[in-house]
């Protein structure tokens, strides 16, 4: 089993935009964790590929510290890349790379577009499925449990294939000290990408999520509370 995982460095959504803190995309971290569990079960290797600036190597090291094997860093200023641009660059990479299964996060937590994985599968002309919440391997087939609109679906895929993973799949492990030290010795293959790109979608900027006013606790006799709540919903919130 040769698994490749497409990972991305993204702004930390739990920190202020002003901090500039960058982290491993949470959906990608879930894909890494699930691949590690399957490798323990059936063997194989797990390689990473990331498109981003040189400083993104820190994010690669974190994923390597979780227990993955090797990584490729496609060095590029991706500040203006859209989903199709990422897919085009990744397709070029995988056309010259041996793989059985490509895993991606279902979406990136900075844009929530969720398009790169399906676009990549289309460019490579391989079967794919999205929003996986469980993975297993039975013989030569990958069994995917995916969350659909009206419930869960079970899908079988024969490699080569691509799967996008939900962050509801698992709780990614925290790298151990041993894993962190081992990651420093692992090979990261660097490639420069300098081709001109023409993204169809541009991100104009980021801003913090607006704060919310504090909630109100209604206390007292149940009938009085019910009347007060109805009054607030009618005259203040204007929802009834």
Task: Tell me whether residue 224 is in a domain.
Answer: no
Q: What is the pTM assigned to this prediction?
A: 0.87
Task: Tell me whether residue 237 is in a domain.
Answer: no
- Is the pLDDT at 216 greater than 90? The verdict is no
- Predicted local confidence at residue 210, as pLDDT: 83
Buried b (16+ CB within 10 A) or exposed e, 62-98: bbbbbbbeebbbbbbebeebbbbbbbbbbbebbeeee
- Predicted local confidence at residue 150, as pLDDT: 87
Going by C-beta distance under 8 Å and a sequence separation of 6 or more, which residues neighbour residue 53? 75, 76, 77, 78
Average pLDDT value over all residues in the chain: 94
Task: Tell me whether residue 227 is in a domain.
Answer: no
- Is the pLDDT at 20 greater than 90? The verdict is no
Q: Which domain holds residue 42?
A: 2-192
- Predicted local confidence at residue 122, as pLDDT: 98
The domain that holds 124 is classified in CATH as 3.40.50.620
- Is the pLDDT at 158 greater than 90? The verdict is yes
The predicted-structure confidence for 7-17, as pLDDT tens digits, reads as follows 999 999 888 88
Task: Tell me whether residue 210 is in a domain.
Answer: no
When divided into structural domains, the chain yields a total of 1
């Amino acid at each position: 089993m040769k698994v490749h995982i497409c990972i991305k460095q993204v702004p930390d959504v739990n920190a202020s935009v002003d901090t500039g803190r960058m982290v491993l995309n949470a959906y990608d971290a879930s894909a890494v964790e699930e691949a590690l569990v399957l490798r323990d079960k059936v063997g194989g290797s797990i390689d990473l590929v990331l498109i981003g600036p040189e400083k993104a190597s820190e994010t690669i090291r974190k994923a390597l510290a979780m227990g993955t094997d090797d990584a490729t860093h496609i060095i590029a200023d991706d500040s203006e890349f859209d989903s199709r641009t990422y897919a085009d660059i990744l397709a070029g990479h995988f056309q010259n790379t041996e793989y059985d299964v490509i895993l991606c996060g279902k979406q990136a937590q900075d844009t929530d577009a969720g398009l790169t994985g399906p676009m990549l599968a289309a460019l490579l002309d391989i079967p794919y499925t999205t929003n996986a919440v469980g993975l297993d391997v039975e013989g030569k087939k990958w069994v995917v449990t995916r969350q659909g609109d009206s419930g869960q679906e079970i899908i079988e895929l024969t490699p080569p294939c691509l799967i996008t993973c939900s962050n509801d799949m698992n709780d990614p492990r925290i790298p151990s000290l041993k894993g962190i030290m081992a990651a420093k010795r692992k090979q990261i293959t660097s490639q420069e990408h300098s081709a001109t790109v023409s993204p169809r979608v541009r991100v104009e900027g980021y801003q913090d999520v607006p704060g919310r006013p504090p909630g109100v606790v209604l206390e007292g006799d149940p009938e009085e509370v019910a009347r007060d709540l109805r009054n607030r919903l009618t005259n203040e919130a204007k929802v009834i």
